[in-house]
Amino acid sequence: MNANLFVALRGGFPADLDTIAIETADTAMSSDAYTWRDLERASAMMANLIASLDLPAQSRVAVQVDKSVEALVLYLAVLRSGHVFLPLNNAYQSAEIEYFIGNAEPALVVCTPKAFSWFAKIAFKAGTKHVFTLGDDRTGSLLERAAQHADTHEPAVRSEGDLAAILYTSGTTGRSKGAMLTHGNLRSNALTLKAFWGWRTGAERDVLIHALPIFHVHGLFVASHGALLAGAKMIWLNRFDPKAVVARLHGASVFMGVPTLYVRLLAEPGLTPAACASMRLFISGSAPLLLETFEAWRGRTGHTILERYGMSETVMLTSNPYRPEAARRGGTVGPALPGVGLRVMGDDGAVVAAGEVGHIQVKGPNVFKGYWRMPEKTAEEFSADGWFRTGDVGKVEADGFCTIVGRSKDLVITGGYNVYPAEIEGFLNALPGVAESAVVGVPHPDFGEAVIAVVVARPGGPAPAPAALIGALKGRIAGFKVPKFVEVVSELPRNAMGKVLKNLLRDRHRAMFGPAPAAPKPAGG
Ligand code: AMP
């Protein structure tokens, strides 16, 4: 059997290849839509172009382009050709690109036409022989060259364990590492999600609004694989625009977003139950969804957001139930998905009791092969009995529901006591005038680390006074958990996936209590 992921995705295409696969939201004209045949032919032409370059087996193909349907086709073409897709966040600048290209040593890179001069220089210096360009308006040498190739192509034969993609982790807590994902990892997770979330196929097929970037696990794998495997139509937005999403909800059935997208959609007056009448599923992930957003969404639309949890190294791990909708629990990420093993370990290396906080470890066919060219780091992140240490801290209740408390690296140890930032953030967010907050530890001469908080004021109201917030917490939680300093800001720094950049907040306030070495942290679990 050919375990090439493309073969599985292609198997989901509907029998009638002339139906619409992707409609771009920028151009409502159906002539600008892409049929399944277009995806099949265009990816074949690109795969033939790649084959004509005679790259070494399992070459990395590094891609930093703006989102477009052609960029998705390029991903499919790389899968078809049996090489390894390596998407790069389009916010990355030259110093970052230099690191990724130097580390991954791709045989082929694709960048935007406007980045060509500097990007090509970095690539050639690192020994890459082929540099193509791709614009989000169908410009660039990749399409020009692909047009000269045949439009049929037999997918390269790959086994389950062969690499399909390398995803560099977002690196919010250190240097980015390349997570190596195999055809088997991606296919098994996509099939699990197809069944678990009830993707509709055939005449009743789903319509997905795709508004996420495609350099990340969420938009590239969870969203695109889901739609392709189900033969579902995608409404494709190159950029997230809340008005465009609301305008396209009518007739759509599935939407996936990071929490910030939901917050921005809630600010749209057009978001009403009537606008959502054809929707069956709203999914959130990549960062914690505030309970307040979860509840506000239910109040406004009548739909309950399904929150799930995963990461670049493992694709999806847990999900709130699909049915019944009422069983979805705000503030939790649901039980482990079928086939995924999940356990919570204490600092002593033993599994903790239900409801106790500890280090989350996982196992399953979805768990990656290791970090690219980092065998030691890989070995460190797996337990002796083969479980992957996610680096997330959380708990699992007796009924299997999992709650993420934070990253183990974000854990604050103050005066020898552990403080989980998410707990303090929960208390802060419930205070009047607070929209959201981020709690971090900074060096402190007496305590090793001190808890501090950065708080976003609720728009429209008076900004809360830091002293009042600290005073309000004092009566509610143990003294060592109360922030020693609170800063009120208008927004938190976030990356493209909506994750708060806590390292940036820590750096900003690092010297606040004077120079002091941070207390040593446990190795994590
Ligand atoms: P990435 O590899 O960039 O997808 O980041 C993965 C990390 O995002 C996980 O290890 C979690 O810390 C975080 N994450 C993903 N989904 C959720 C969620 N639903 N709630 C809380 N954190 C999440």
Q: How far apart are the first and last CA of the chain?
A: 37
Strands 60-64 and 34-35: unpaired
Q: Atom 22 (ligand 1): residue with closest C-alpha?
A: 287
- Ligand 1, atom 7: closest residue by C-alpha: 311
The answer on pLDDT for 79 being more than 80 is yes
Q: Which residue has the tokens 């099939």?
A: 191
- 140 vs 426, more confident: 140
Q: Whose CA is nearest to atom 20 of ligand 1?
A: 288
* For the chain, percent of residues with pLDDT exceeding 90: 84
Say yes or no: CB of residue 169 within 6 Å of ligand 1: yes
Instruction: Judge whether residue 523 has pLDDT over 70.
Output: no
Q: Is 481 near ligand 1, meaning CB less than 6 Å away?
A: no
Mean pLDDT of 127-144: 97
pLDDT digits (tens, 9 = 90+) for 371-412: 999 999 999 999 999 999 999 999 999 999 999 988 888 888
Between 128-132, 248-252, 358-362, 425-429, the lowest mean confidence (pLDDT) is in 425-429
Ligand 1 pocket check for 374: Cβ under 6 Å? no
Where is pLDDT greater, at 31 or 95?
95
- Report the helix count and the strand count for the chain, using DSSP H and E: 15, 24
pLDDT, position 95: 85
Average pLDDT over residues 424-438: 93
Q: Ligand 1 centroid vs 388 CA: distance in angstroms?
A: 15
- Per the prediction, the chain carries an average pLDDT of 93
pLDDT level of residue 96 (50, 70, 90 thresholds): confident
**pLDDT exceeds cutoff 80 at 175:** no
As a whole number of angstroms, the distance between CA 235 and CA 360 comes to 35
In the predicted model, what is the mean pLDDT of residues 337-349?
96
The answer to whether residues 521 and 515 touch, using CB atoms and an 8 Å cutoff, is no
> Is the separation of the CB atoms in 436 and 427 below 8 Å?
no
Residue 419: the pLDDT is 87
Residue 524, pLDDT above cutoff 50 = no
- How far lies 471's CA from each of 127, 421, 446, 479, in Å? 59, 18, 22, 11
SS3 279: coil
282-321 pLDDT tens trace: 999 998 998 999 999 999 999 999 999 999 999 999 999 9
| Residue 407 Cα to ligand 1 middle (Å) | 9
Which pLDDT belongs to residue 172? Answer: 53
Tokens, residue 1: 């059997």
pLDDT tens digits along 452-482: 999 999 988 899 999 999 999 997 888 889 9
Ligand 1 atom at shortest distance from the alpha carbon of 404: 21
Question: Is 168's C-beta closer than 6 angstroms to any atom of ligand 1?
Answer: no
**Is the C-alpha dihedral spanning 5, 10, 11, 12 positive or negative?**
positive
Supply the pLDDT for residue 522: 36
How far is the C-alpha of 164 from the C-alpha of 85, rounded, in Å?
Answer: 6
pLDDT at 521 over 60: no
Distance of CA 335 to the CA centre of its chain: 19
